[in-house]
Structure 1
Amino acid sequence: MIRKSLNASRLQDEVSRRLHRIHEIVEDGVKIRVPRPQKQEPDASGCNWTMKHFGNAVGYDRFVDEVLRAVRAEYNLSDTDDAKDIHSLFGE
């Protein structure tokens, strides 16, 4: 499967969105802090980013791992930085 590319903010948002849709997390009213993705050399699967140190996630490790596994299989971290993406929205 070919991965799509997202910038750091969008990857962070996607992981957060998926986590906060999980029934158990919604039901418990937990707000998990999702860290910024960190660029790394592509691993054996070809993924070039990772996330560590989720906040307020004690007891929800299984869900965090499942979401990370799914998002890492779908997306790579793009080489463009967030500031450039903002400027491109305005045609700059």
Structure 2
Amino acid sequence: MIRKTLNASRLQQEVDRRIHRMHDIVEDGVKIRVPRPQLQEPDKTGCNWTMTHFGNATGFERNIEEVLKAVRAEYNLSTEAKETVDPFGN
């Protein structure tokens, strides 16, 4: 399957959305802090990003790993640099 690409903010939002829709997390009313994805060399599956150091995640590591596995299979982190526009025209 060919992965879609998302920028770091959108990828972070997608992981956050999926985590906070999981039954165990909704039921416990916990708010897990989702870190920004970090670019890495593509792994054996072809995924080029990782996430570590989730906040307030104790006891929910399995849930997070489940979400990460699914999202990493669907998306890659965009490596295109944003074009910066000089407001002064230099």
Larger Rg: 2
Q: One-letter code of the match for 1:10?
A: R
- Gaps in structure 2 of 5+ consecutive residues: 86-90
Task: Name 2:19's counterpart in structure 1.
Answer: 19
Identity percentage over the alignment? 74
Alignment TM-score, normalising by the size of structure 2: 0.89
- State the Cα RMSD in Å: 1.4
> Would you say 1:3 and 2:28 are equivalent positions?
no
- Gaps in structure 1 of 5+ consecutive residues: 88-92
The CA distance in 2 between the partners of 1:22 and 1:40, in whole Å, is 27
List per-residue Cα deviations over 1:21-59 (Å, max 9, x = no partner).
001101111000000000000000000000000000000
The CA distance in 2 between the partners of 1:49 and 1:75, in whole Å, is 9
Task: Name 1:65's counterpart in structure 2.
Answer: 65
Q: Which ranges of 4 or more aligned residues in structure 1 deviate by more than 4 Å?
A: none
Q: One-letter code of the match for 2:65?
A: D
- 3-state SS in 2 of match to 1:5: strand
Q: When you count helix as a share of all residues, which structure comes out higher?
A: 1
Question: What aligned pairs does 1:67-82 form with structure 2 within 5 A after superposition?
Answer: 67-81=67-81
Measure how far apart 1:79 and its partner are. 1.3
**Count of aligned residue pairs for this structure pair:** 84
Alignment TM-score, normalising by the size of structure 1: 0.87
